[in-house]
């Protein structure tokens, strides 16, 4: 039986339950896809041995027999956990993250470790200590980051789902660059237990798939309260695919953020394509309301400060003492710390730790961190006010399409500012879904995002599904990976 590499989870589940293919055959097929094509893409740091994958998972469940790729900053028991960094060389996780554990209990096959920007710090997928990840639509361009590996693997048809993580847009941005669906859930909806911390008040595991329905299926496995994570919300497990009927909710209103569409630096092609997507939602029955979110202009600055302050604290544990790499020939403990961290962390990670310690240091804390928290309040307040008048918001996910490797080599600030559209959502802790909405003239994917208030994932999925079913984007796949 021929397996379609771009089949949905739904289709594959049906094929397995109808005995057209076995879970063993599907796993073999996916492993071979990586062997055949991943040298071009660089999406996986490791693909596990086949028997060991099958042995770890239950023999039934919502995702029985469905392989997926998990970002290298999410713990899988007895597997390497590296965050794509030299400083964790050799480290094997002694436990499963809650996300990994939930997936195994529902029968999913965790096929390997997905490449990413080192410690999830990046926008392009170029800062992994091991290799860069290419965009399956154009191999001379980045996949986007930081969850570059899992997203590229899903887009190229190696696996039907991937897990990434978001602190500032690191699932939605690569999803948009690679033409697939990427969710950042409400803060606290998916347990962070076993997700290596970057910015703890912002981090969330995110889901990448080729279709909206698949995304909702995977979220159904992951979402729910976890006592190991005291920031996880008291939400019961539920089926997020229930409301996917292909129609918009009666009386749905969608806010279009005008200052986002008029932002300097937004590619005119992306603007036009996103406006067409919004028009289609209107044609489907949504009421479109125009509004502005002035605090968006300050969210990048606030995000830089808050995320880097938290990162400086979270990454202090990587010191060569208890695990991972240790610098040789250190004469004192201080030398051990300083040399290990200099040799083990890449440039971008070192830069962010330094910025974090700068903004928290005596004399600067109120000026930077204190004020950044105020700006965070302002953006949260603006979203709350907006959602009193509209059900959802729509805006582009990205300002420019996937760019060439090294395009921002000498301009790191400009690279960081590419997260302009994704950052406000992370600061506010609300959910957002990026969905493909077209292609540029150069055949590069374009994505737009639907943003909702806390715990509105079902409404977001329902709306996105209705749009998706009226458009061809989810049926289009990159060439060269047949």
Partner 1 sequence: MTKVARDEVLRIAYLSRIALKDDEIRRMAKELDEVVTYAHRVCDIAAEVTAKVHKNINVFREDMIISDDAEAIQAQAPESAEHFFVVPAVLETNE
Closest to partner 1 by CB, 273 or 336: 336
CB < 8 Å & 24+ apart, contacts of 50-53: 53/27, 53/109, 53/110, 53/111
Site track 208-237 with partner 1 (rule: CB under 8 A), x = hit: -------------------x--xx------
CA pair distance 351, 357, nearest whole angstrom: 10
64 C-beta neighbours (distance < 10 Å), count: 18
Within residues 100-139, the interface with partner 1 by CB under 8 A covers none
Stretch touching partner 1 by CB under 8 A, among 51-59, 356-364, 449-457, 473-481: 356-364
**Best CA proximity match to 390, nearest among 450, 468, 469:** 450
Among 292, 350, 440, 469, binds partner 1 (CB under 8 A): 350
Q: Which of residues 363-402 bind partner 1 (CB under 8 A)?
A: 367-368, 370-375, 377-378, 380-381
User: Is 2 assigned a catalytic role?
Assistant: no
> Looking at the DSSP assignment, which residues form a beta bridge with residue 135?
138
Rounded to the nearest whole angstrom, what is the least distance from the CB of residue 228 to partner 1 in the complex? 9
Contact with partner 1 (CB under 8 A) among 3, 10, 86, 92: 92
Return the number of the residue (374 or 443) whose C-beta is nearest partner 1.
Answer: 374
CB of 343 vs partner 1, minimal distance in Å? 9
Binding-site size for partner 1 (CB under 8 A) equals 62
Please identify, using beta-carbon distances, which residue of 25 and 343 lies nearer to partner 1. Answer: 343
As measured in angstroms, the least distance from the Cβ of 383 to partner 1 is: 13
State yes or no: residue 320 binds partner 1 (CB under 8 A): yes
Q: Nearer to partner 1 by C-beta: 316 or 442? A: 316
Catalytic residue selected from 170, 220, 307, 434: 170
Rounded CA gap, 18 and 269, in Å? 44
Strand arrangement of the beta sheet that strand 445-451 belongs to: 44-47, 109-114, 67-71, 161-166, 204-209, 181-184, 432-439, 445-451, 392-396, 253-257, 287-291
- The residues in 416-435 that bind partner 1, with binding defined as CB under 8 A, are 416
* Count of beta carbons in the 10 Å neighbourhood of residue 404: 11
Count the neighbouring beta carbons within 10 Å of the beta carbon of residue 144: 35
The 170-209 site mask, x for binding partner 1 (CB under 8 A), equals ----------------------------------------
Which of 14, 32, 321, 389 forms a contact with partner 1 (CB under 8 A)?
Answer: 321
438 and 277 in contact (C-beta within 8 Å)?
A: yes
| Catalytic, out of 43, 57, 128, 146 | 146
Give whole-number Cα distances, 259 to 256, 290, 308, 418, 423, in Å.
Answer: 9, 10, 26, 16, 15
- Least Å distance, CB 43 to partner 1, is 27
Closest CB 304 distance from partner 1, rounded Å = 5
Q: Give the nearest distance from C-beta 353 to partner 1 in angstroms.
A: 5
Q: Rounded to whole angstroms, what are the CA distances from 360 to 176, 306, 351, 367, 379? A: 34, 10, 14, 9, 22
CB atoms within 10 A of CB 57: 22
What DSSP assignment string belongs to 404-471?
BTTTTTT-HHHHHGGGGGTHHHHHHT--EEEEEEEE-TT--EEEEEEE-STT-HHHHHHHHHHHHHTS
Q: Which two three-digit tokens encode residue 256?
A: 């279009």
Question: Which one of residues 49, 245, 258, 335 is an interface residue with partner 1 (CB under 8 A)?
Answer: 335
Q: How far is the CB of 102 from partner 1 (least distance, A)?
A: 19
Establish if 304 lies at the interface with partner 1 (CB under 8 A).
yes
The closest of 187, 325, 270, 317 to 446, measured between CA atoms, is 270
Asked if residue 454 binds partner 1 (CB under 8 A), the reply is no
301 scored as a contact of partner 1 (CB under 8 A):
yes
How far apart CA 210 and CA 218 sit, in angstroms, is 12
| Inter-residue contact 449 to 432 (CB < 8 Å) | yes
Can 146 be counted among the known catalytic residues? Answer: yes
CB of 324 to partner 1, least distance (A): 8
Neighbouring C-alpha atoms within 13 Å toward the C-beta of 142: 30
Q: How far apart are CA 59 and CA 106, in angstroms?
A: 8
405 contributes a contact to partner 1 by CB under 8 A: no
Residue 357 touching partner 1 (CB under 8 A): yes
Q: Write out the catalytic residue numbers.
A: 71, 146, 170
Give residues in contact with partner 1 (CB under 8 A). Answer: 90-92, 94-95, 227, 230-231, 295, 298, 300-302, 304-305, 312, 316, 319-326, 330-339, 341-342, 345, 350-351, 353-355, 357-359, 361, 367-368, 370-375, 377-378, 380-381, 412-413, 416
């Amino acid at each position: 039986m021929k397996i379609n590499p771009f089949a949905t989870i739904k289709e594959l589940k049906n094929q397995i339950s109808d005995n057209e293919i076995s879970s063993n055959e599907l796993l073999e097929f996916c492993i071979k896809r990586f062997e055949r094509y991943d040298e071009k893409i660089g999406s996986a740091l490791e693909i596990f041995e086949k028997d060991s994958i099958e042995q770890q998972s239950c023999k039934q469940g919502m995702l029985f027999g469905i392989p997926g790729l998990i970002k290298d900053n999410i713990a899988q028991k007895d597997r390497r956990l590296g965050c794509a960094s030299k400083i964790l060389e050799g480290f094997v996780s002694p436990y499963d993250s809650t996300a990994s554990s939930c997936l195994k209990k529902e029968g999913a096959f965790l096929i390997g470790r997905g490449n990413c920007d080192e410690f999830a710090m990046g926008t392009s997928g170029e800062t992994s200590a091991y290799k860069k990840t290419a965009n399956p639509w154009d191999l001379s361009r980045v996949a986007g980051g930081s969850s570059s590996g899992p997203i590229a693997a899903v887009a190229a048809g190696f696996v039907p789902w991937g897990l990434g993580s978001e602190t500032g847009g690191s699932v939605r941005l690569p999803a948009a660059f690679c033409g697939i669906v990427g969710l950042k859930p409400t803060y606290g909806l998916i347990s962070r237990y076993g997700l290596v911390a970057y910015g703890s008040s912002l981090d969330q595991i995110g889901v990448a798939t080729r279709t909206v329905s698949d995304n909702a299926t995977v979220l159904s496995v992951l979402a729910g309260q976890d006592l190991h994570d005291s920031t996880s919300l008291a939400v019961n497990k539920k089926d997020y695919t229930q409301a996917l009927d292909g129609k918009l909710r009666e009386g749905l209103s969608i806010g279009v953020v005008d200052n986002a569409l008029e932002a300097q630096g937004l590619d005119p092609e992306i603007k036009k394509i996103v406006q067409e997507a919004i028009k289609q939602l209107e044609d489907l029955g949504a009421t479109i309301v125009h509004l502005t979110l002035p605090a968006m202009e300050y969210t990048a600055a606030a995000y830089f400060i808050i995320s880097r302050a938290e990162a400086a604290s979270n990454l202090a544990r990587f010191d060569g003492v208890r695990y991972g790499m240790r610098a040789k020939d250190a004469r004192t403990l201080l030398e051990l710390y300083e040399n290990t961290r200099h040799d083990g962390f890449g440039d971008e990670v070192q830069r962010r730790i330094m910025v974090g310690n700068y903004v928290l240091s005596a004399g600067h804390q109120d000026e930077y961190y204190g004020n950044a928290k105020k700006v965070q309040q302002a953006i949260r307040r603006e979203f709350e006010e907006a959602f009193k008048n509209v059900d959802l918001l729509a805006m582009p996910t990205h300002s420019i399409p996937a760019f060439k490797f090294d395009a921002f080599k000498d301009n790191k600030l400009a690279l960081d500012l590419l997260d302009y559209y994704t950052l406000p959502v992370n600061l506010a802790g609300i959910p957002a879904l990026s969905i493909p909405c077209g292609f540029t003239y150069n055949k590069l994917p374009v994505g737009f995002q639907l943003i909702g208030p806390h715990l509105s994932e079902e409404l977001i999925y329902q709306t996105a599904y209705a749009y998706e079913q009226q458009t061809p984007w989810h049926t289009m796949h990159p060439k060269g990976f047949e």
